[in-house]
Chain A
């Protein structure tokens, strides 16, 4: 039996990056906010203690802090005619569970998307003609522009203390930064991180090719910093335990290091952990949300009424909650109609590994999750696509995020996987291999989408989310072209031998790629092709807002969270300035 709790002003589903920021800002505005999080509370002092945190087996391999598939997973297939099967062990991406969300065990590479990314359909059509876009695409403009988002990118970066070098300050190009970026209103809050030997070689080699190297913007921050919420961070020590780990140094921006200490002190705020939201409850006409139903660890269900429901459950979990709650019209692939589940996208990865001569000491263990030098010359529409014949691009980076040896054991191509020859091979190359990688955009297509699985269920008997995704010819062409560009740079850096890494096709759930899952509840200007309006408000149920990368109409050639953060502050601004004053749809159709 479901027990009903006293009503709150706001219920936040999921206490990760977006949920913690919204909870703090709305509680500070005087609202009663409850955040419901399915995983445990986690904190730096106890859970990321320096005596336990740097444990590759426990956190990096056995994945102790991630969502366990036994609790929830998704099913997967590459094409709509195939039978989907459950991802029994997470590999390609690693979904979050617990306070801090993926924002706790992320790497911290914190980008702004480029101005053209937000108007990509109209931009390409204008520059190359509408026929240039790939077959079966559903590429769309975002309904928000870079200029509109700029103050909110700024807000997220100052919350997180991001370290970087501005490339464009109020329209003026700055030496050492990314000259392609959109104008920034002010510099990064903290200066760039130090770079290692490989990055120095990369900077020289890429500049020698006429490219424009700059330090990758990093949430592993370079100096001590106090953010606008009064929370203090300490400088990164390049320990090499970022992604998949909590940071023991208070150096990696996360809800724990940037928001929660201020949030828990807000009198109007309450968190309920180890409680999973099952659905958003609607009025009988389906037009208004009355709150959520959640279940605790003993199987007791609770109804939490609230005036405003904010879904902050991470990209595709938002989509599953919308589908299970009956909010918005589900995407019907056969008919090509409906919006919830439409335009799921991901990220390409390709590049080149270089093997250097004796006497090279790259020291890969001295690293941070977002250390690296990048070039953006081949991203978005920063170069002429007319001759290359594909849409999109990639950020190209030379980086070590870690040298943790269970997973990082480079050997020259052709070396056996075991035996004395392998031992010699790994001893020789551990310090002499480095990589240049291209992280590329993925456009949206009719055949890449999310819906509910007909066969596989969770513990409560509810259908798992089904993911139908493959890299389409456009993405294959783009990523493999980028791999060649990476290889040219690695050769120019002085590698004795290189190995090109092409895009793995078909997309496989096995090797880790990225947890940059996007789309499925996209924002836009037309309710026929978007689930949310430009303020991340559901077109159908106006007191439900949906945060996260699920709102991206397609993915750009960067990590998502800078843009996820910016959209959160953008939506918050609309909630505070418009919605709370006059609840209802913020965009009239």
Chain B
């Protein structure tokens, strides 16, 4: 249920609505909620990609696996579900920057201290940015896409993008790099209900116990290792289903 529908439901059922101001809510006499009422996050939805094309998904798979490689410390970004996470985030309000102030003008020369000033939404950044990255790779590496490069070449390219040394055709390499890296880390460390951090791989890596919500025992035993396994919002299990 989306926030607005359940709010309306709530208004009709539990709150005395001021008859003439029907589109705000009037609260009179008692608190407007009912027992066991909670507002869960958006579920992952049907299997398959919701936003990415297969080619984009393959590129992102390759990127998240270089940002968080599978190694002796644990699973990589792809296995941990980072690509699924990003796909679902792009399908929701984050993907369109629906919540942000996106009215113009967008001057070309903002001050760095003025922060985000691009009109490009995350969906546009991925769509245009990944295409630019693959066009660059095809031109430079014998018609191969990013995902087809070997790990060393991928690392070198990503490093150049991070440092601003690589110019992609018609898209800021830095912007693409920054967005994908930030979203990868979100996916690796967010609650598994969002499709990433599968088997709590991110939390296990660093020793974050998740959402236990009660650490009075830790406070009473300073400087002792914490040994209980992590839990998420759905308990010990990861995502409720494996969507791809």
Contact = CB atoms under 8 A, between A and B. Distances in A.
Is B a genuine binding partner of A? yes
Interface of A: 3, 5, 40-41, 43, 45-47, 49-52, 54-58, 61-63, 68-70, 73, 76-78, 82-83, 85-89, 91, 194-197, 200, 237-241, 248-249, 260-261, 264-265, 267, 269-275, 294, 296-298, 300, 302, 360-363, 365-367, 403-406, 409, 417-420, 423-424, 426-427, 430-431, 455-457, 506-510
B66 A54 contact: no
A77 B46 CA distance: 45
A41 B27 contact: yes
B207 A241 contact: no
B224 A68 contact: no
18 contacts: A43-B31, A49-B38, A51-B38, A57-B186, A57-B191, A85-B114, A89-B101, A239-B213, A264-B31, A267-B29, A302-B21, A361-B223, A363-B224, A365-B209, A366-B215, A405-B189, A418-B68, A509-B113
B20 interface: yes
Contacts of A361: 223-226
Contacts, number: 249
A405 B203 contact: yes
Given A85-B110, A88-B117, A73 B101 contact: yes
Interface stretch (B49-57, B92-100, B134-142): B92-100
Contacts of A88: 97, 100-102, 115-117
A296 B213 contact: no
Contact of A507 (B113, B216, B226): B113
A47 B39 contact: yes
A46 B3 CA distance: 12
Interface of A is mostly: loop
Contacts of A269: 28
Contacts of B218: 196, 238, 363, 366
A580 to B, nearest CB: 24
A223 to B, nearest CB: 12
A363 B207 CA distance: 9
B191 A55 contact: yes
Residue of B113, B189, B205 most packed against chain A (CB within 10 A): B113
A272 B26 contact: yes
Given A274-B23, A509-B113, A510-B115, A457 B103 contact: yes
Contact of B219 (A238, A424, A509): A238
Contact of A46 (B28, B39, B206, B212): B39
A237 B215 contact: yes
A96 to B, nearest CB: 15
**Chain B interface category by residue count:** 35 or more
Contacts of B73: 420, 423-424, 427
Contact of B29 (A249, A264, A423, A507): A264
A443 to B, nearest CB: 20
Given A85-B117, A427-B205, 10 more contacts: A40-B3, A41-B32, A52-B39, A89-B115, A194-B216, A237-B214, A274-B25, A296-B23, A406-B186, A508-B115
Given A68-B100, A403-B208, A272 B25 contact: yes
A54 B223 contact: no
Interface in B192-226: 194, 202-203, 205-209, 211-216, 218-220, 222-226
Given A52-B40, A239-B212, A271-B27, A417 B162 contact: yes
A249 B3 CA distance: 23
A78 B110 CA distance: 12
B38 A85 contact: no
